[in-house]
Every structure is written in C-alpha cells, then in structure tokens.
Copies of this chain bind each other. A is one copy, B any other.
Amino acid sequence: MGGIKDRVAVVGTGCSKFGENYHMGIEDMIVEAGFEAMADAGVEAKQIEAAWVGTLNSAFSGTSLGDALKIQNIPISRNENYCASGMDAFRNACFAVASGMYDVVLTLGFEKLKDSGARGIPNTRNHPVMAYGITAPNLFAMAANRHFHRYGTTKKQLALVAVKNHHNGSMNDKAHFQSEVDVETVLNAPLISSPLGLYDCCPTTDGAAAAVICRADMARSFRADYVLVKGLGLAVTSGAPYFKPGFEYDGFPATTLAAKQAYEQAGIKKPLEEIDLAETHDCFTITEILNYEDLLFCKKGTGGRFIEEGHSALGGKLPVNPSGGLKSFGHPIGATGIRMIYEVTRQLQHRVGDRQVKDAQIGLAHNLGGPGAVGCVTILGNP
C-alpha cells in the first residue's frame, strides 16, 4: 500500500463555459460539465457508481447533482474545503476508487457567484478573518507590499502575471475573459487595494467542471490516452494565519506542506525540472508569484524574477496557468480545482491547440483557500 500513485486514472473531463452565466442555473452548468466528462470517457450516466461534488453552496448539492445528471440512487458526497472544495472532492473520490469500493466515479465542482442563485454561500459575519472587515484583496495586498519591501518585487512583475494569463486565456474558448491586456493597461488600471489594481484581481464568475475517474487497471478500456493520479496533497494550517503575530505575509506554508506531500507520493525531487506545466491558484497576481516560491519552483523571494525571466510563460521552463488561470476563468469556488484538473489532463493528452505545452508528461494543479490556511496539490502524469 502506501500512497495513491498510479492506482487511479482520469478518463474523462468536462468544463462549462465560465462567465457571467445569468442565462444558466446551477443545474445547467452541472449538465454542461458533467455530460461532457461522461462523453469524453465514453460512459453513460448509469455506469457512474458514485459521485463527489465540491462546492461552497450548501443547499442540497448532492441531490442537485443527482437530479441534474440523472445519477440518482447512488452514493453522492459533498466536500467543502474553501477555495479547494473541488480539488478535495476529486481527492476523496480518488481514495474511494483506490480503496476498491467503486470502479468508475464522477467528481464535479461548481459555483454560481453572479446572482442571487448563489444560495447557500455562507455570509462572512462570523468569518474568522472577514468579520474584521478584511477582504481577499486586502489580505493579498498585504502580502504584495511585504514582498515588494523584502524582496524588491515590483508592480510591473505583478502586471506580467496578468499579461501572461490573459494571453493564455485568449486561446481558451471556455475562459471568462478571452482578451489580451498589455502592461500599460494593467499598471494604469484603478486601484482595488494598493498595490493591487483591477487587473491584478480575478473576476467574479459562474462555472462548473467535472472528471470521470476509474481504477487505473481498467482505464485503457475507456480511452488510450488516460492520465494517472501521481500525488494528492492537502494541508490545513491554522485558520487565521494573518492574525498570528509571527506570520511573515510573504508566502503560504499550507501550499508548501501540500506540495511536499504530493511530490513525495509522485517521486518528484526537482519540481522545476520534472513538472511540465502547472495550474496554480492565481486569485491575485501576487498569489501566482508566491505560488512559484511555495510550490518550490524557485527560491523564496525570486518569484518576481521567475515571471520576468519568462520561466512560467508558454515555452518557458515550467509554464504556469496555460489555461489562462483564475485571471481569465474567474474563481467559481467549487469549480476551480476540477477546472484545473480538466486543463492538466487535456494538456497531458495533447488536446489543447495553441496553448499546448510541448511534450507535456507531468502536470500539477494547486488551490489555495481559507485565508491562506488550505493548500491542495494534485499531480497527474501520463502512464
């Protein structure tokens, strides 16, 4: 036993169009993503033995999933793990398959943030951080200022993250934003929380994404280009790190703890050399720079140079967010983690057209959630 490596396979992926989906209900997006994933795997709804849904939406999510996809009468679980809800649903589904209980299961994440259909999203009145009036842009702005002060990171380096991710998103017809931006536009945009401007923030978006997974030894019967799960890391640090007197504000230990778990399971010793692409949690441009460091792609303090030197661009040493990232897709909370798994899987299958990472064999997906307290890392690879 010991670990998950090469025991579970992704054989189908689906993703709704992300955006301001006022014309769609939650169920419409579930249908779009869920049936695309089943068609991609060549399975019918009746072959799905169990399901896991990731969402912050607490109004009857399991039954909503079953009703929308007509996969009733089977086990359906819901996971919520802040911004990593979708990826943690995927992780729990992998354990169930690896345990031998089920052969073929579905995992799906969704969120509807754009209208009052966003039922069940908890209010922030008693949130351990936000109750104090601190919002997400404020939190990450503090990290940006600290990084500027301590390591000489610049507003222009932040802008380069936005430019890169908008460029990648311009090649992705499922992205919320599909337009390029230039450095000037990003630097001259209205301030949201200094030093973060409008283009340093990801948008508010609706979306859903899904994956069909199965026992690795039966994956070939679904499709020849299946993808294997190599590592599943999750770490939950203290709930309000920002309030700890010793908190450094220049990175998130939860990401590093989760990455180390996943690297050890996958046998990865040198992430920069061994990983071919990564989808990481760029809720703000500064977050992507911190992610480079926290995921051990580069040394602490050198994330700004990492983007400036082009290492995270398509064609660079380790392309980050080839999909366009949260910057282009927004962050419909439960959807994001599985949307990343969709991108990584299809990159490894060499199916993504202009944004294809050449010779991609190993990919990483990463979420950061719960005011920096939750890190979740999934590593996928070709057989």
Please report A residues at the B interface, Cβ cutoff 8 Å. Answer: 1-4, 7, 50, 56, 58-64, 66-67, 72-82, 88, 91-92, 94-96, 98-101, 119-120, 122, 125-128, 232-240, 253-254, 257-258, 261, 370, 373-374
Contact = CB atoms under 8 A, between A and B. Distances in A.
A253 B374 CA distance: 37
A63 B88 CA distance: 14
Contact of A58 (B80, B128, B238): B80
B373 A236 contact: no
Given A72-B236, A74-B236, A82 B95 contact: no
A126 B92 CA distance: 28
Contacts of A79: 77-79, 92
Given A80-B78, A100-B2, A126 B235 contact: no
A126 to B, nearest CB: 4
B60 A235 contact: no
Contacts of A73: 235-237, 253-254, 257
22 contacts: A4-B101, A56-B58, A58-B120, A59-B127, A63-B128, A63-B239, A72-B237, A73-B237, A75-B235, A75-B258, A76-B81, A76-B234, A76-B236, A77-B79, A77-B92, A78-B79, A92-B95, A95-B99, A96-B99, A98-B101, A99-B99, A101-B232
A3 B232 contact: no
B236 A126 contact: no
* A62, A238, A240, A257: residue with the most chain B Cβ atoms closer than 10 Å: A62
B3 A234 contact: no
Nearest to A4: B101
B125 A122 contact: no
B100 A1 contact: yes
Contact of A96 (B95, B125, B258): B95
Given A50-B234, A79-B79, 12 more contacts: A1-B100, A56-B58, A59-B127, A63-B236, A63-B373, A64-B239, A67-B239, A75-B236, A75-B258, A92-B95, A99-B99, A119-B122
A64 B129 CA distance: 13
Contacts of A82: 60, 62
A254 to B, nearest CB: 8
A203 to B, nearest CB: 23
A303 to B, nearest CB: 22
Nearest to A7: B99
